[in-house]
Chain A
């Protein structure tokens, strides 16, 4: 049993699982998320997804956010998983 850190983009985070924001690959989306208070170190989880590769419904510290599917691909999280 060991704990390893994985880096995944938000769109690939399984529903309900918590990840910690780590990096932004897009300047504008990164800026907006930082402004919204979603900066590196913040926990996020994906609650649900809109149909047809639509937006993602996120929660972080009791607050809700929406982020587009393409936009979600530019935000990377660390997740911890047991192996």
Chain B
């Protein structure tokens, strides 16, 4: 074996604390990659087994067995059934929960038949100790014929011994496995033998996996698949029957073994604490109440706690820009650096506080075991809309910002449910829509009170939010009908005992999410920012300079102060830029919605982020210096009259039409960049952009014609 490039697979059931062990082994020396052809993340890290002996560790998704029921599990099967895979390991570190050995040994006995050297790490030994459970590790090691190490993923206890054992199993030749032999019936034996002969492979269990999962194994060539299917048909191969038989036979070996080596002295204490908590937390009435209280906390924290750091980032980037403006020579390169690159960087970093806070809270919920209770409570409800119980977290977070919400869908294991959640989440009104709604509602809805207590403007705001929620759910139903699923969607899962969250895992989850966003989605955001900046700054030929000169001449008769003059020039320059030309070019498309070229320009620029709409409108209407104060813009909009027709430029109908447009429109490059990152391609963000834009267009068209 080539020990210079030792490849270790970290394998085990879900919720076994595998990621803690991965973190202990690799520390911060980890990165995220892709498994071929699927959207499942591959976490790879480097570890040092001993001085001068490094190894690569791949953290495989939590898996119950080699009979996959989700996309995650298919990845594991496709790697382990394919010795030619570049992810195929030299050694397996198999992590099992010592308090729940019986179930955790199932997958172990399966991969053991593939003749890959294995070291078994028994995790949760501290919990076992507290429960008064004693495990005879030596006996277990002897019966399973592999090294067994007691470890604690949280404290790092036993990790060194684990590394040592890995080195040893790579040096000693493989012991043949005769600890147990699983009876197979004649049909299966024949199928396996024929595959071994015809496909030139030598491991019977590998042949059995090929026979069983022929349709799920993407690496098999068409000829091989045809051959296997023929063999299966000849011998009347019944996969369900064999699966149950095989699994039960394994349990027939595992159950007595576990009973033999595990001695329990006390009643299960932590389990009864879990029971007490669950009595309230999963209660018919209090369960949902507690859940929504927690979600309110999540929502509130992304919304309000993030606003201060977001302002710091905005302010910091602005100060940095000022600073560089002073020290750098004037010219296009400086403009590009400051207004293009630096502004784009600001546009990326500004999302970091929201992502940090959301994933801090989500990983607390995941780590403690609460998340699976939320799934228990809401799976049924979300299923109607094509989503999973976990989707509800994304939808609610989407109320603050779609970016962390889309990233949070990673925890949804069913591909179809995850896609639907990603596709519909941006329809929930996020915080960036608030400034847009604010100016439009203030313009169109009278500031009156109805029924004594309700503000009419407040009701209009709520109406826009509700419209977003309804659209989200309806879109969910539609996607549920359209999308094909790769694995059936169903609910059958473990509800793990509650645990105190481990800070190191929480910190690593948060830093991984922030890192992925900044490095991967960030690139796309910066590129688009630079393009938008260039379009808004430059025009064909000398058009910008000409527009400025012309405006200066006009200003001489207008008697404006310095600020108003600067605003006026800025408006004329924007009009003369490529964005201005683009806005005028697309005006005919938006005319039926009541949008003139000025609004069309704002639609183009607000693709960067929805709130940019307000800023652009302010610039076009020559009140750019008013910044956050919307009153001057509102005043201008009310008074604006088309010089040719004498009609009002901005009517109530236009305002309503725009409101509806912004409820539905996918006007956010950052979200599209994240969707691209999460779905690993441009297909889904493009579909999303098209369907949301169509919804926005026709929604606004209807609104414009009603009002």
Contact = CB atoms under 8 A, between A and B. Distances in A.
B417 to A, nearest CB: 13
A64 B377 CA distance: 14
Interface stretch (B471-479, B486-494, B593-601): B486-494
Nearest to A33: B492
B375 interface: yes
A12 B346 CA distance: 57
Interface stretch (B63-71, B75-83, B337-345, B675-683): B63-71
Interface in B252-283: 268, 271, 274-275, 278, 282-283
Interface residues of A, number: 34
Contact of A64 (B251, B278, B492): B278
A31 B244 CA distance: 7
Interface in A31-83: 31-37, 39-40, 47-55, 57, 62-71
Interface in B227-266: 240, 243-244, 247-248, 251
B244 A48 contact: no
Contacts of A52: 380-381
A41 B248 CA distance: 10
A55 B380 CA distance: 7
A29 interface: yes
Given A35-B103, A36-B492, A65-B495, A54 B377 contact: yes
A67 B284 contact: no
Nearest to B282: A57
B214 to A, nearest CB: 16
B205 interface: no
Contacts of A63: 100, 271, 494
B677 to A, nearest CB: 30
Contacts of B496: 64
A-B complex: 9 closest residue pairs judged by Cβ atoms: A35-B64, A68-B491, A37-B103, A64-B495, A54-B380, A66-B376, A62-B271, A32-B492, A35-B65
Interface residues of B, number: 43
Chain A at the B interface: SS class: mixed
Interface in B316-339: none
A34 B487 CA distance: 17
Contacts of A71: 490-492
Interface string A3-32: 000000000000000000000100111111
Contacts of B243: 27, 31, 34
A27 B240 contact: yes
Nearest to A57: B282
A36 B494 contact: yes
A69 B492 CA distance: 10
13 contacts: A37-B106, A40-B248, A49-B284, A52-B381, A54-B377, A55-B491, A57-B495, A64-B274, A66-B492, A67-B493, A68-B491, A71-B490, A71-B492
A36 B675 CA distance: 33
A36 B493 contact: yes
Nearest to A38: B492
B379 A68 contact: yes
Contacts of B314: none
Contacts of A55: 376-377, 379-380, 491
B247 A66 contact: no
B414 to A, nearest CB: 11
B353 interface: no
A33 B67 CA distance: 12
Given A51-B288, A54-B377, A55-B491, A32 B248 contact: no
Nearest to B100: A63
Contacts of B274: 64
A15 to B, nearest CB: 12
A67 B67 CA distance: 19
A68 B380 contact: yes
A66 B67 contact: no
B332 to A, nearest CB: 61
A23 to B, nearest CB: 10
Contacts of B377: 50, 54-55
Interface string B358-390: 000000000000001001110111010000000
A69 B496 CA distance: 20
Contacts of A34: 65, 243-244, 247-248
Chain B CB within 10 Å, residue with most, of A39, A40, A47? A39
Nearest to B496: A64
B612 to A, nearest CB: 42
Contact of A28 (B69, B106, B287): B69
Contacts of B492: 29, 32-33, 36, 65-68, 71
